[in-house]
Amino acid sequence: MRRTRLMHAGLAVLLMLGAGATAATLPASADDSPTPTRTIAAPASADLLSAMQRDLHLSKAEAEARLAAEQRATTAEPKARRAAGTSFGGSWFDAGRGTLTVGVTSDTSAATRQAVRATGATVRTVAHSARQLDATRARLDRLPAPAGVSSWHVDPKASTVVVNVAGGAQADNDVREFLARARTAGPIAVKETPGAPKTLAAGTVGGDPYYTGNVRCSIGFSVYGGFVTAGHCAQPGAGVSGWDGSYIGNFQGSSFPDNDYAWVNVGSGWWTVPVVLGWGTVSDQLVRGSAVAPVGASICRSGSTTHWHCGTVLAQNETVNYSQGAVHELTKTNVCAEPGDSGGSFISGDQAQGVTSGGWGNCSSGGETWFQPVNEILGRYGLTLHTA
């Protein structure tokens, strides 16, 4: 059914509303990113609301209310960050209250706190500034990490850097040495995780979007002149064929590890559209911008293997320690993914978020998946997101 629709439409880019495709990891540098489009339009489709109800265990009214609250939080976050200035300690979406929460340090003046509240955010005092926590994370990035250390990220709510260690690995001598050095770098907390991260590329098994040799990955988002995807799927120059075997283009740029991003030019009768596929689970979704969803917000993923799944944003700017090497500044979610989903789209409402990098678990028992923020890719290659 999907192939028939694509053949008639001639789509060159298969965009997904939130599917993490096969992927590794990718560092998203906010400083290098273009100013994201922040136009948030239109109520969600009935199918999207149904997917949120299924995966987030919400009623229709609760899903509608949550999307509206998340849109307000997404709009308020950059204003609140500027208002907090050097006192800014991070931000997150409080799903229970339906509000953006902004952490500020204890020495923040009453005037600054009021300015933050004026943006619509709730203010909470935290132990460390975002700058201090980012500095701690950067120090960890310079340490060689053993295989038992899965990842690390700043947790603004707890005002610490969380180091994730694979189950049973804390007794390993190399892990213990890493953690000892990490504790000297700044405030950290250690968390045990049930799985180790891996990239999600797959051999050719029929069914989806694009192939490079015997590897199948998923298209992320259309940009003018091509599409973005995961860097671990292929090296620059690699040829790309579509779901029907026809030639699409070539990898024009690719980075992995350290980053996990790439872009492919489109030609030979293929063209780009600002759409992510719903795979029949939800209707195909239009992409209208790339405003960043805060921690705690809902997010959906669609990929060539597991199609459409939703969850929430768990952390931003996480360093993930894949077997091939560390990838920096990824966003972590509790959305599941499986091999073949790499490179596929993560989307929140109608706002593009990123391309699937890697994860652990599966869509039967659950797991976690990371994505490379799309604004990092656009800034790195000077690309423009194709929006409706």
Q: Which residues are catalytic?
A: 232, 260, 342
Helix (H) or strand (E) holding 307: strand 307-322
Query: How does DSSP classify residue 239?
Result: E
Which tokens sit at 183? 């504790």
Q: Which residues does 292 contact at the CB level (< 8 Å), separation at least 6?
A: 36, 74, 77, 351, 353, 373, 375
Angstrom distance (rounded) from CA 50 to CA 360: 25
| DSSP annotation string for 217-236 | E---EEETTEEEE-GGG--T
Number of residues that this document lists for the chain: 388
Helix (H) or strand (E) holding 160: strand 160-166
Q: Which residue has the tokens 């911008």?
A: 289
Angle of the 130-141 helix axis to the 173-185 helix axis, nearest 10 = 150
Angle of the 46-56 helix axis to the 60-84 helix axis, nearest 10 = 90
Q: Which residue has the tokens 């929140």?
A: 348
Burial 125-163, CB ≥16 within 10 A → b, else e: ebebbbebbbebbeebbeeebbebbbbbbbbbbbbbbbb
